[in-house]
Amino acid sequence: MEEGKSNSAEKISLTEQEWKGLLTPQQYYVLREKGTERPGTGLYDQFFLKGKYYCAGCGFELFESGSKFDAGCGWPSFSEPSENRNITENADLSYGMIRTEVVCSRCGGHLGHVFNDGPPPGGLRYCINSASLVFKSQEELNSAKISETIEP
Ligand SMILES: [Zn+2]
């Protein structure tokens, strides 16, 4: 084992069979088959609690509630990722369109697409499927932090 390296960007690679065992059918459809949930049906579309969003495939941190906004498109929209390196962009030429697909940098799971019609200053809109995200509220994150720092 290599020491001193952050494990944050360590790639996760599972077989499709293993992913099928881990994910719900809807998560598998979005993350592994690059599916798109129907607009307005996702858990996090109209959802604005304070907290962080993690990859539903591998738990990698992807977005924070502070960058979430209502784009009215029917999918959760973010103006920027938590960390740029946590998200990887790929050209997507499917369906006769030129789009930029965004995937989790750790497990390669499909998240959604990024468009250039977001709010200033960045002007980006990360249009993400709810099924590819897991939300943790600020309270959950705080209490996890407190329990980590309690001395035995
Ligand atoms: Zn992931």
Share of residues in the chain with pLDDT > 70 (%):
91
Token look-up 């995200």 returns 133
**Model pLDDT, residue 144:** 84
> pLDDT tens, 78-117?
999 999 999 999 999 999 999 999 999 999 999 999 999 9
Any domain includes 12? no
CA distances from 65 to 4, 20, 62 (A): 30, 29, 10
What single DSSP character describes residue 43?
A: T
What residues are neighbours of ligand 1 (ion), with CB under 5 Å?
55, 57-58, 60, 104, 106-107, 109
Any domain includes 89? yes
Any domain includes 8? no
Among residues 58, 104, 107, 127, the one annotated as catalytic is: 127
Any domain includes 10? no
Q: At 80, which amino acid appears?
A: E
User: 127 catalytic, yes or no?
Assistant: yes
Any domain includes 130? yes
- Spacing, Cα 56 to ligand 1 middle (Å): 7
Any domain includes 86? yes
Any domain includes 51? yes
Any domain includes 91? yes
- Spacing, Cα 82 to ligand 1 middle (Å): 14
**Calpha distance 19→26 (Å, rounded):** 12
Is the pLDDT at 150 greater than 90? The verdict is no
**Calpha distance 32→16 (Å, rounded):** 8
Do 60 and 81 contact (CB within 8 A), yes or no? Answer: no
Q: Looking at residue 80, which CATH number applies to its domain?
A: 2.170.150.20
Its domain, for residue 52, covers 24-143
- Spacing, Cα 120 to ligand 1 middle (Å): 27
Structurally, how many domains does the chain consist of? 1
- Spacing, Cα 126 to ligand 1 middle (Å): 16
Is the pLDDT at 124 greater than 70? The verdict is yes
> pLDDT tens, 6-36?
456 689 999 999 999 999 999 999 999 999 9
- Spacing, Cα 13 to ligand 1 middle (Å): 10
